[in-house]
Amino acid sequence: MKKIGVLACKMLQDEIVYLIQNDSKIQEIVVIEEEQNEFVEKLNKLNVSYQSVPSIEAILDRTAADGSDDNEDNDEDDDNEEGAVSLIVWNLKLGLHDSPKILKEKVYTCANRLAKKVNGVCLFYGSCGSVLDKIEDDFKPYPLVILRDKDGYIADDCISATVGGRIAYRGFLKSLRGAATLIFTPMYSVAAEEYFEGS
Mean pLDDT, rounded, for 60-80:
44
In the predicted model, is pLDDT for residue 196 greater than 80?
no
In the predicted model, is pLDDT for residue 80 greater than 60?
no
pLDDT recorded at residue 75:
44
In the predicted model, is pLDDT for residue 70 greater than 60?
no
In the predicted model, is pLDDT for residue 24 greater than 80?
yes
pLDDT recorded at residue 2:
92
pLDDT in tens, 112-127: 999 989 999 999 999 9
Q: Is residue 191 within 8 Å of 93, Cβ to Cβ?
A: no
Comparison of pLDDT for 151 and 69, the residue scoring more: 151
Q: Where are the alpha helices (DSSP H) in 93-198?
A: 100-115, 135-138, 158-163, 166-175, 186-196
Q: Is residue 12 within 8 Å of 123, Cβ to Cβ?
A: no
pLDDT in tens, 125-172: 999 989 999 999 999 888 999 999 999 999 999 888 888 888 999 998
**What's the structural domain count of the chain?**
1
State whether the Cα torsion 138-140-145-147 is positive or negative. Answer: positive
Comparison of pLDDT for 21 and 141, the residue scoring more: 21
pTM of the model: 0.82
Rounded to the nearest 10 degrees, the angle between the axes of helix 13-22 and helix 37-45 is: 30
Mean pLDDT, rounded, for 80-94:
85
Domain holding 177, by residue range, is 2-196
Q: Is 193 helix (H, G, I), strand (E, B) or coil?
A: helix
